[in-house]
Structure 1
Amino acid sequence: MALAWGPFAIAEDPETAMPPLHQAAQANDLNALRRLLATGAAVDARDAQGRTALLAATHANQIEAARLLIEAGADVNAKDAIQDSPYLYAGARGHLEILKLTLAHGADLRSTNRYGGTALIPACERGHVETVRTLIAAGVDVDHVNRLGWTGLLEAIVLSDGGPPHQQIVQLLIEARADLNRADRDGVRPLQHARRRGQTQIVRLLEAAGAR
C-alpha cells in the first residue's frame, strides 16, 4: 500500500508493516509528516504492533518529529500491544526532551507499563538521573510498587552496580521523601539490599537519611 501526494509516495514497509506516517516519524522526515497529515493520515493510526507514529518517533528519539505529531494532536498516552506509550517509553529510555513534551501535553502520571510500573521505576533502574529528576518534579508517585514488588528506590539498588548515577538517583528519592524502609516481597529493605551488594556510598546515603 502507498500513500501519495503529487509526485511523492511512501509505501508501507512490507517486512514491518510500518505505515507511511510511522516511517516518516521514525526517520524524522518532517516534510513527509506534514504532507501525510495534510492529506488525511490519522495522527493516532496504529501499525501491526499497535504503535502510533508518535511512539515510532519516540523509539528512535526523534524529537522534532515527536514535537510535530504532538502539536498535531497525537495521544501521548496511547499504548501499543505491549503496553508502552510515548510517555512511558520516553521515561524508561531517558529520552528527556520527548518526555518533557509528553508531560506538557497530558501525560498520565499514573499510567503503568506491562510490569505494573510507572515511568519512574525503569528510569531509576537504568540510571537516567535527569529523567528521574523530571518525573519527580512532575509528581509521579515515588513509592509506587510494580508487579515485582519493587519501588524505584529498590530497583535503583537491586538492578544496578551502585555507581554515581544510581547514587544521584537515590539522593533524589531521599529528597523526594520516598519511603526508605519499604521492603520487597521477601521483606528485604533498601538498606539491606545495598549492604548485601557492597554499595558503600548508597549505604551511607540511606543511613544518613534514617533508613533502617
Structure 2
Amino acid sequence: MINRRHWLSAAAPGLMLLQLANTPRALAQSGADAAMNSTPLHRAVQANDLGRLRQLLAAGAAVDARDAQARTPLLLATHANLVPAARLLIEAGADVNAKDAIQDSPYLYAGARGHLEILKLTLAHGADLRSTNRYGGTALIPACERGHVETVRTLIAAGMDVDHVNRLGWTGLLEAIVLSDGGPRHQQIVKLLIEAGADVNLADREGVTPLQHARQRGHSETARLLAAAGAR
C-alpha cells in the first residue's frame, strides 16, 4: 500500500506553494503585481481584445514579453483557454515552451488542463515533449490524473514517453489509478496507455504496482484491463 505520509512529505513544498498562492491576499497581490509589470500585449490578452492584439503584434510588440510572474502573453491566453488569442500569438512566433516562475509553459499547461485546441497548436509549433513541470512530470502525467482522455490520446500520438516517472515516483499510468476514482474516463486512459506500450508493472517508490493499486482501491475494471495486459 502506498505510504501517503511519504507522498505528502515529498509533495508538501509544492502543495504549500499552491495553497499560499490561492489565498485571497495572495491572489490580490498577484493581480496587483501583474498590473504593474504586464505589457500592453498582456493586457490585450487579459481583455480578450483580438483587435488590439492584432494591432500590437503588427506594430512589433515583443510577443514573449514577461509579466511579474514571468508569464508570456501566450501563457495568459492558455490559462483562460482563449483559442483565437493563442492562435494569433503562436502564428506571430510566440514560444510555446517559454516557462513562467513556477515552470509552467503554454504547452505544459494546455496538456495538464485539457485545453485541447491550444495543445494541438503548441504541438504543431515546436512543443518540447521532453519538457517537465515543477514536479518533474511531462504534460501527459497530469492529463492522465485529471481524466483528459482526448488530451492523453493526442499526446500519445505525438510521441510522448508513456513511462516517464516524475519526482514523486509516478508515471501517467500510476496517476490515472492512484489519483482517480477509477471511473470510465480513467479506465479509457489506462486502456490508451496499455495500447501505447506502457510498462504495466512499473511500480512506485514503495514497490506497489499499478495492478496492486487498482485492486486496493476497488477499481475492478481497471484491474481487469491491467491483468489482461500481463500486469502482476
TM-score by length of 2: 0.84
Matched, 1:132 2:171: no
Helix, strand or coil: the match of 2:44? helix
Find the counterpart in structure 1 of residue 125 from structure 2.
105
Deviation at 1:14, TM superposition (A): 4.8
Distance 1:14 1:187 in 2: 46
Distance 1:155 1:105 in 2: 28
Moved more, 25-34 or 193-202: 25-34
Tell me: higher relative CO, structure 1 or 2? Use CA pairs within 8 A at least 6 residues apart.
2
Deviation at 1:184, TM superposition (A): 0.2
Task: Return the letter of the residue paired with 2:82.
Answer: Q
Give unpaired runs (5+ residues) of structure 2.
Answer: 1-30
Q: CA RMSD in A?
A: 1.1
Find the counterpart in structure 2 of residue 150 from structure 1.
170
Find the counterpart in structure 2 of residue 185 from structure 1.
205
Distance 1:110 1:201 in 2: 31
Task: Return the letter of the residue paired with 1:70.
Answer: I
Moved more, 38-47 or 195-204: 38-47
Distance 1:131 1:27 in 2: 27
TM-score by length of 1: 0.92
Q: Is the 8 A contact 1:115 1:147 kept in 2?
A: yes
Find the counterpart in structure 2 of residue 5 from structure 1.
none
Find the counterpart in structure 2 of residue 203 from structure 1.
223
Equivalent runs, 1:1-212 vs 2, <5 Å: 14=32, 16-17=34-35, 18-212=38-232
Task: Return the letter of the residue paired with 2:34.
Answer: T
Deviation at 1:172, TM superposition (A): 0.1
Moved more, 35-44 or 119-128: 35-44
Give unpaired runs (5+ residues) of structure 1.
Answer: 1-12
Distance 2:40 2:153 in 1: 35
Distance 2:213 2:223 in 1: 9
Distance 2:137 2:181 in 1: 21
Task: Return the letter of the residue paired with 2:107.
Answer: Y
Q: Is the 8 A contact 2:211 2:226 kept in 1?
A: yes
Helix, strand or coil: the match of 1:16? helix
Task: Return the letter of the residue paired with 2:137.
Answer: G
Q: By percentage of residues, which structure has more helix?
A: 2
Distance 1:27 1:93 in 2: 21
Helix, strand or coil: the match of 2:34? coil
Helix, strand or coil: the match of 2:132? coil
Distance 2:47 2:171 in 1: 35
Moved more, 200-209 or 24-33: 24-33
Deviation at 1:28, TM superposition (A): 2.5
